[in-house]
A = this chain, B = another copy of it.
Amino acid sequence: MARILTTPIQKRFADIDPFQHVNNVSQQTYFDVGKVDYYHQILGEEVLLGRLRIITASTATSYCGQIRFGDPVRVTTTCEKIGTKSITLLQQLLVGDEVRSESRSVMVAFDFEAQQSFPVPDAWRERLLRD
């Protein structure tokens, strides 16, 4: 069972749109904050900056409820699936116990010098599955 990492979000005034709630696009930046924290704490920061990086192949997000400026919001990030060449991350934006949006991201291991994908390294697997 993979670990769930929780990251509190610091909202910015410009995240709020004319409907007085956090814009959908700003919610995507919240998921990004969760991912970067996940790389830092669990997967290893070299996946952001090294030769062998992780890139986003696809994302799918469901918006279930609004997030207001005053709502304390946090993002949870966990690894849902490890495939041969990809990792699926599951993330939620939560206010209290309510899920306000949920996003799945398929991340691909990518060699920036060779400009092609490569199998998920064993070292990544171990860190993803560690308790």
Query: What residues of chain A have their CB less than 8 Å away from a CB belonging to chain B?
Result: 9-10, 12-14, 16-18, 20, 23-26, 28-29, 32-33, 35-36, 48, 55-63, 69
Contact = CB atoms under 8 A, between A and B. Distances in A.
A59 B107 CA distance: 17
B28 A13 contact: no
Given A59-B61, A60-B60, A23 B14 contact: yes
A116 B59 CA distance: 27
A5 to B, nearest CB: 15
Contacts of A69: 18
Contact of A29 (B12, B33, B35, B57): B12
22 contacts: A9-B10, A10-B10, A12-B36, A13-B23, A14-B14, A14-B23, A14-B26, A14-B29, A14-B32, A16-B17, A17-B18, A18-B20, A18-B69, A24-B56, A24-B59, A25-B25, A25-B32, A55-B63, A57-B63, A58-B61, A58-B62, A60-B61
